[in-house]
Amino acid sequence: MLNFRKDYVALNLPSAVGDASSSRGWSKKSLWRWWNQLSRFQRSIVYMLVLAACLTILYYISGNRPIGSTSNGPLNVGMNKDHVTPSLALYSPKKVQPVENSIPKAEPAEKSYLKNDTVNKNNLYDKRDNFANNIDQIHSPPREGVKFSGPTNERQSAIVAAFKHAWKGYKKYAWGHDHLKPISGTFQDWFHLGLSIVDALDTIYIMGLTEEFAEAREWVATSLHFDVNRDVNLFEVTIRVLGSLLSSYHLSGDKMFLDKAVDLGTRLLPCFNSDSGVPYSDVNLATRKAHSPKWSPDSSTSEVTTIQLEFRDLSRCTGDPKFEESAAKVSFHVHGLEKSDGLVPIFINANTGNFRSYSTITLGARGDSYYEYLLKQWIQTGQTMDYLRDDFIEAMLGVVKLLTRRTSQNKYLFIGELLAGGRDFKPKMDHLTCYLPGTLALGVRYGLPQEHMQLAEDLMVTCYQMYAQQPTFLAPEITYFNIQEGTTGDIYVKTNDAHNLLRPEFVESLWYMYLVTGNQTYQDWGWQIFQAFEKYTKVTNGYTSINNVRNPLSTRPRDMMESFFLSETLKYLYLLFSDDPHLLSLDKYVLNSEAHPLPIYDT
């Protein structure tokens, strides 16, 4: 007969436990005897209970450290007894060699950045005392709104008329959709976010179009929802939608725009949940799942480094540092990567945080706005984050050294590309690159090397020739340059590159150059370009991009009006023709890559 015994665990405590008659409790001998009576399993339980108690005590001790302390001791960057100055670049940086022609800036101790090697490298954004509660007193973004009076001359009036013509067609055929197809009288959706409405908000406001602004504001308030089960591009939605919502909030003082911006910014944050902190390129706004682009494991360098202005401003408006923390870390990470004389490859891997080996170096597509946001972040933060300024200056030296050439006949200066990781030079320049003269002029206005102005002026001549040498007086998307000595001709355009998408980059530079120099030639160039838009791209229901700038009799319209035509191209033309150079003051605002003005802070 088999005997079955039930296994069990018994924890027998001696009667001495809790015995009130004993003044000393257990003796050492009785404790040892009790311990020896325990099974191995029972002892393991006791060990676990003791360990859990210790961890709990440590948790509460660490949770009560003073704000501004780190695991290695007190955080003393820009800190005094009563106040913690926000430092957005608190990592210990890679040592950067001094850059020729850099302008030293004397700063008070509380604005000294990147000079303390003991800071907490897990916290880029230094906390403030009562930061969230005191944000209004700290930054005071405008709440009452800024007033604009509308056009003051014939040229400005012509730009407003062009905008109203485009708006009328969009409202009739594409209202609530991303883009108007003005020839077919239909629409195109990219992200299903009403891009043309949102992107144009501050253009409408600056032009003083009260009726159009009211109807756009109503659509945003009632119909713009971000719970969209669709992947969107982090960069495009940040510069077009988040940037415009923030700008509209600052200009109008309407908190509804800020509330929408907070909702959107929160949905975009999962992009930063990569192993390196370099964001993934895409995210589903409804599920909040982020991933790399479907066509590649890498993100575009320009895209991951052209979101910082917007996320920083969102933190400054709300008092919540998480937005700025996430985006600012990316800039500092890229700052520490190896470069070619300050120039960056156009692809970066979100998981490894490294550039793709042997990828192209260009100031055109996928590289352009990295350099733009180096300068503009420095301006946005009151010229305090000097590693950004120095990276920009170093990069411009690299541009001159590695990328600039002159054409064989008329010696036009252009910026080419380096292929195969810098081994082969290609005499090709995207129209996108024509943003650079304006950015250089903006930097000179803020004290950067005067040599940058000569580079800007030379590039402006070349960009103008890209328009003037085409029969339509409209620039192609891509231009090639002749650098073979002894040959004639400076510029040639390939058939597949002859399209014009109504892009803003050159008129953007015209505005900056005019503000900095006062040279009215830049206004006249802008008027010539606008007249070409009117002649070759205006159709019954709006404006259309065209496929061929080389033949006025066969422009082959593409039937597409992208949101940046309303947001950037017409806005920059309107500002360019203003009688008031302070209509949108560069002392108060820095414009993001989609021409949305955001306030300049002092830190």
Residue 303 appears among annotated catalytic residues: no
- 416: which 2 tokens? 């080419």
Give the closest residue to 476 by CA, choosing from 430, 522, 543, 542.
Answer: 430
Question: Which residue type does 591 have?
Answer: L
Range 22-30 contact pairs with CB under 8 angstroms and sequence separation of 24 or more: none
Whether the pLDDT of residue 306 is over 80: the answer is yes
Q: What is the pLDDT of residue 55?
A: 66
Question: Which residue type does 318 have?
Answer: T
- Answer yes or no: are the C-beta atoms of 292 and 281 closer than 8 Å: yes
Per DSSP, which regions of 148-259 are E strands? 179-181, 186-188, 231-233
Q: What is the pLDDT of residue 46?
A: 74
Residue 324 appears among annotated catalytic residues: no
Whether the pLDDT of residue 45 is over 80: the answer is no
β pairing state of 413-415 and 404-406:
antiparallel
Whether the pLDDT of residue 394 is over 70: the answer is yes
Q: What is the pLDDT of residue 295?
A: 84
Give the closest residue to 129 by CA, choosing from 188, 62, 79.
Answer: 79
pLDDT tens for 15-43 read 433 333 333 344 444 555 665 666 666 66
**CA-CA distance, 85 to 104, in Å (whole number)?**
21
User: Which residues on adjacent β-strands are paired with residue 415?
Assistant: 404
Mean of pLDDT values over 472-482: 98
CA angle 432, 435, 437 (to 5 degrees): 135
Distance of CA 133 to the CA centre of its chain: 26
Residue 524 appears among annotated catalytic residues: no
Q: What is the DSSP string of 357-404?
A: TT--B-SSTTTHHHHHHHHHHHHHTTT--HHHHHHHHHHHHHIIIIIE
This prediction's pTM: 0.79
- Answer yes or no: are the C-beta atoms of 255 and 321 closer than 8 Å: no
Give the closest residue to 329 by CA, choosing from 312, 347, 343, 351.
Answer: 312
User: Which residues neighbour 359 within 8 Å (Cβ) at sequence distance 6 or greater?
Assistant: 345, 346, 347, 421
Q: Which one is catalytic: 391, 505, 562, 568?
A: 505
User: Which residues on adjacent β-strands are paired with residue 79?
Assistant: 84
DSSP code for 278? P
Q: Which one is catalytic: 477, 490, 568, 594?
A: 477
Q: What is the pLDDT of residue 420?
A: 81
Tell me the Cα Rg of the chain: 30
**CA-CA distance, 456 to 413, in Å (whole number)?**
10
pLDDT tens for 125-184 read 443 333 333 444 334 444 678 999 999 999 999 999 999 999 999 999 999 999 999 999
- H-type alpha helices, 13-111: 28-37, 40-63
**CA-CA distance, 331 to 550, in Å (whole number)?**
40
Q: What is the SS3 assignment for 316?
A: helix
Angle between helices 386-398 and 322-335 (to 10 degrees): 40
Q: Which one is catalytic: 199, 298, 325, 368?
A: 368
pLDDT tens for 245-293 read 999 999 999 999 999 999 999 999 999 999 999 999 999 999 999 999 9
**CA-CA distance, 592 to 389, in Å (whole number)?**
17
Given pLDDT bands bounded at 50, 70 and 90, which one contains residue 212? very high
Residue 236 appears among annotated catalytic residues: yes
Q: What is the pLDDT of residue 545?
A: 98
**CA-CA distance, 575 to 331, in Å (whole number)?**
30
**CA-CA distance, 142 to 146, in Å (whole number)?**
8
Give the closest residue to 487 by CA, choosing from 411, 410, 428, 408.
Answer: 408
Mean of pLDDT values over 348-353: 97
Mean of pLDDT values over 426-438: 98
- Answer yes or no: are the C-beta atoms of 134 and 128 closer than 8 Å: yes
Give the closest residue to 325 by CA, choosing from 137, 486, 86.
Answer: 86
**CA-CA distance, 466 to 390, in Å (whole number)?**
31
**CA-CA distance, 151 to 39, in Å (whole number)?**
89
Mean of pLDDT values over 556-576: 98
Distances from the Cα of 509 to the Cα of 303, 404, 460, angstroms: 21, 18, 8
Q: What is the SS3 assignment for 439?
A: helix
Count CB atoms within 10 A of the CB of residue 143.
12
Q: What is the pLDDT of residue 112?
A: 29
Count CB atoms within 10 A of the CB of residue 462.
23
The rounded percent of the chain whose pLDDT value lies above 70 is 77
More confident residue, 222 or 2: 222
DSSP code for 242? I
**Total residues found in the chain within this entry:** 603
Q: What is the DSSP string of 511-578?
A: HHHHHHH--THHHHHHHHHHHHHHHHTEETTEE--BS-SS-TT---B---B-HHIIIIIHHHHHHHT-
Q: Which one is catalytic: 178, 236, 254, 324?
A: 236
Given pLDDT bands bounded at 50, 70 and 90, which one contains residue 54? low
**CA-CA distance, 199 to 220, in Å (whole number)?**
11
